[in-house]
Structure 1
């Protein structure tokens, strides 16, 4: 298994993963992502913030990171790596990629003098809340977003549960 930066040639695969995730979300929960702009993902790739996990050379999981998330984390937005949009291909479920991403993020945070690994998800998604705390994240509260300009559309009018790991 390898975690690598995604390349511009991966963009169609990334969007295939997002489409699979949205279809899955629609089956198992009452909320779902509402798509992402190619410009957003292109910028993430160019800024080395979009990643893929390869298993035997096959893309098995994708995720993105950012280093500021002011609209979600407010005054706590500092010294952090924020993980977003983790999508595992159905053929690779059970590989514990979130735990692998956490290991990778801890190393990244230490090398870059960051103090936190952070994530968010819908506040009422009990299954993901339990999963993320089971992976080592601490639940640190809930936030209702008032301003969402610049965030993907699914952030409009929702409450989020916030998670972090202190490095």
Structure 2
């Protein structure tokens, strides 16, 4: 379901926990995300959540455009998933698999042919997991135009994934 502005603090806390976990597992962490970015995504109905026992168990956002990462391929009809973060108290519940099923349906309903995502390159375990969830690995790419992007895109290579709907 969509998140609401009342969820903002919980979402920021969840991103912090996910960033700490990501650093522990892969040595790479997310930056602290701007509250205004999160609020904009909520207001534009692009930030979603899964709840368990009335707690936010997982969040993710989408965009309909990601030209800085996908360049020419951005012209294809696609949705782009960003920042999947699971509450550590609910890990192991296969949220990514649930998000994949949701995203395929969402893409169909919005006349999109692809679901795409990127992650910092070099985490083979995560790459294998995304492939297991149905994504095709398209390779990694150094992002050169990072203006307006969160800092984890700066001077980074990103692994690209695509799922045909």
Band the TM-score falls in, shorter-chain normalisation: over 0.9
Q: How does 1:148-159 map to 2 (within 5 A)?
A: 148-159=146-157
Secondary structure at 1:130 match in 2: helix
Secondary structure at 1:68 match in 2: coil
Task: Give, in angstroms, the shift of residue 74 of structure 1.
Answer: 0.5
Structure 1 position 55 matched with structure 2 position 52: yes
Q: Distance in 1 between matches of 2:149 and 2:77?
A: 20
Task: Give, in angstroms, the shift of residue 23 of structure 1.
Answer: 1.2
Structure 1 position 17 matched with structure 2 position 14: yes
2:131 maps to 133
Structure 2 residue runs of 5 or longer lacking an equivalent are none
2:121 maps to 123
1:94 maps to 92
Q: How does 1:76-91 map to 2 (within 5 A)?
A: 76-77=73-74, 78-91=76-89
Q: Please, what TM-score do these two structures have when normalized by structure 1?
A: 0.96
Task: Give, in angstroms, the shift of residue 57 of structure 1.
Answer: 2.1
Q: Distance in 1 between matches of 2:139 and 2:73?
A: 12
Secondary structure at 2:82 match in 1: strand
Structure 1 position 38 matched with structure 2 position 35: yes
Matched pairs, number: 164
What is the RMSD of the two structures over their aligned residues, measured on CA atoms? Answer: 0.8
Q: Distance in 2 between matches of 1:104 and 1:69?
A: 20
Q: Please, what TM-score do these two structures have when normalized by structure 2?
A: 0.97
Task: Give, in angstroms, the shift of residue 91 of structure 1.
Answer: 1.1
Q: Distance in 1 between matches of 2:31 and 2:53?
A: 31
Structure 1 residue runs of 5 or longer lacking an equivalent are none
Q: Distance in 1 between matches of 2:121 and 2:89?
A: 28
Secondary structure at 1:94 match in 2: coil
Q: Distance in 2 between matches of 1:97 and 1:25?
A: 16
Task: Give, in angstroms, the shift of residue 122 of structure 1.
Answer: 1.2
